[in-house]
Amino acid sequence: MVCAAILVAFMFTPAKWVWWALLIACTTGALEMLDALEYAGRYPARFSVYVAAAAAMPLALVLHNDAAAILPIIIIAGSMLTLFTRKRASLEDVAAPLYIAFSTIIPAVLLMLADETPNVGRLLLFISFTIPLLGDTFALFVGRTFGRHKLTALSPNKTVEGALSGLVGSVVGAVLFGYVVGGRVFNLPIAPLWHFIALGIAGGILGQLGDLSSSLIKRQTGIKDFGALFPGHGGIMDRLDSVLFAAYAVYVYSRIIIR
């Protein structure tokens, strides 16, 4: 209910407030991942993540789409500096910040840019949350009830049945909140139905990959949750991992299909 209330509030909140909320949430998620790696005895190059977080908003406001191309360059350059500032710098310590930024800061910028899409930007931002959230809901209930075949060793509780039902839930999320709510309730200029079916499938697959990638990090670092911000539910990344990966599908749709 809390997540639903926040999403509805986002629909009517000024863009810059939404953008700052996204950036703050994703930066917090990035710090959670950095802390998890340090807890496991690794020493990722925090500097490049800090720089990316600081540069994200100015780049999005000034350069718009080019920001998505420049941010990775900044992150790579910042990570490579560790080769010159540390006596010992492992490849893992250099590469980890790049992975973290692609899982948090860059998706935040992509969601900002998708929000700029004429007429339907805020709806796309809304859908980027509903696709993985409904997918997770379907996967949880169906997986617990009918799940029999294990999906992967990364997350023992996930099943093939749950993953497939999760894709169904993602399609429902895209169609229900995009085609039905956007087109019928808000009377927005909506694309054909098959667009939302395809977007739900693509976003659902990426969302599940984001969830599995978080499971990999937890397994490697020996933690159960990324944080304790939400009692009983973990930290920011425990809630947003699938949303931020689904953001890539929404951004590509907004820039290639719509425009």
The amino acid present at 79, given as its one-letter code, is S
User: Does residue 7 or residue 74 have the better pLDDT?
Assistant: 74
Q: Are 105 and 50 in contact (CB under 8 A)?
A: no
Name the packing angle between helices 46-62 and 15-39 (round to 10°).
Answer: 170
For the segment 202-225, the average pLDDT, to the nearest whole number, is 91
pLDDT digits (tens, 9 = 90+) for 172-181: 999 988 888 7
Rounded-to-integer distance, Cα 137 and Cα 188, Å = 27
Q: Reply yes or no on whether the pLDDT at 6 is more than 70.
A: no
pLDDT at position 33 is: 93
| Average pLDDT score over residue span 84-105 | 82
Whether pLDDT at 159 is above 70: yes
Is the CA virtual torsion 103, 156, 140, 227 positive or negative?
A: negative
Cα(240)–Cα(31) distance, integer angstroms: 14
Question: Which of the four pLDDT bands, split at 50, 70 and 90, describes residue 190?
Answer: confident
Residue 231 exposure: Cα atoms within 13 Å on the Cβ side = 0
pTM over 0.85: yes
Burial of 89 (0-12, 13-18, 19+ CB in 10 A): middle
- % of the chain exceeding 90 in pLDDT: 40
Other CB atoms within 10 A of residue 5 CB = 9
Q: Is the torsion defined by CA of 52, 53, 55, 61 positive or negative?
A: positive
